[in-house]
Amino acid sequence: MEGLRVGSVLLTGCDGGLGLGLLKGLLEQPSPPRHLFAACMDTQGKLPPTMSILHGTWPPSQPVPKPSRPLADVTNPNSIKAAVRKVRQEVGNAGLNLLINNASTMRRSTLATETAENMTLVYTTNTIGPLQTSQAFLPLLKEAADAEGQRGMSCSRAAIVNISSILGSIEAAEAWGERQDICYRCSKAALNMLTKCLALEYGGSGILCVSVDPGCVTPPLGPGAGPVTVEESVRGVLQLLAQLSATSNGTFWDWRGQSLPW
């Protein structure tokens, strides 16, 4: 398979897990991005709020290192603005083709133990963070969408991919007996609504907007539904992104390429 072909990508939440796996997967594509911006949270507060930028391919035989200079906080407008300036310096008028809002947090909870503090913290990271990041990078995404020779809608042209979860599906309401996780479910349901709003507003500018469940969940949600390894998830997500088109705008998918209910 040819794989995902995209000129520039900004990926948030590269501290580890899925984010680091997606970073590695993007670099190992047959035609990796010319500009790959890897952003992570500095949870120790020891590094300045800037971004790590990786160009070209990383040797497949070696592990991809964690970015050493992170974008500090996707909920911090000043940090996001600094990231926009850094990306602009590298891509120029070509714009940004693909924004993957992957940064996320979780607090285990039940209806009996949920707190306003947890709800606020998780919602701020999982929903407000992607909103503010998408707003800030809109001019660069529009420039990519308007580039000469670009037609149709695709992740190669201009797209926002919000990494969501089946736990945010109101219709499915999966795995309630195994894990309630109220704040996480609510934040991902809100993120899915944000995806729909972005699609309605930005679709006219040629920017594709989708939610994707990466399937990295435990305990299993049913036969064939998980848990999956990071490698399986990354392989499936990147294959999905290579196939999305205008008919996918404002929709919700899983890592296997299956449409999910809101």
Distance CA 176, CA 165 (A): 14
For residue 226, what pLDDT is reported?
A: 56
Amino acid identity, residue 31?
A: S
Q: Is the pLDDT of residue 219 over 60?
A: no
- pLDDT tens digit sequence for 54-74: 443 444 444 444 443 435 478
Q: Is the pLDDT of residue 218 over 80?
A: no
For residue 229, what pLDDT is reported?
A: 85
- Give me the percent of the chain exceeding a pLDDT of 70: 82
Break the chain down into helix, strand, coil percent, rounded to 5: 40, 10, 50
- pLDDT tens digit sequence for 76-108: 888 899 899 989 999 999 999 999 999 888 888
Task: Give 41's pLDDT tier (boundaries 50, 70, 90).
Answer: low
Task: Give 216's pLDDT tier (boundaries 50, 70, 90).
Answer: low
Q: Is the pLDDT of residue 18 over 80?
A: yes
Task: Give 15's pLDDT tier (boundaries 50, 70, 90).
Answer: confident
Q: Is the pLDDT of residue 156 over 50?
A: yes
Name which of 262, 260, 48, 68 is nearest 169 in CA terms. Answer: 262
For residue 124, what pLDDT is reported?
A: 94
For residue 202, what pLDDT is reported?
A: 97
Distance CA 30, CA 32 (A): 6
Tokens of 194: 């944000």
For residue 56, what pLDDT is reported?
A: 39
Task: Kindly list the structural domains of the chain, giving each domain's residue range(s) and its CATH number in brackets, ordered by start.
Answer: 8-41+64-254 (3.40.50.720)
Per mean pLDDT, which range of 44-53, 98-107, 135-144, 236-245 is the poorest?
44-53
- pLDDT tens digit sequence for 221-231: 455 555 788 88
Residue 87, CA distances (Å) to 56, 71, 166, 233 in order = 16, 12, 31, 27
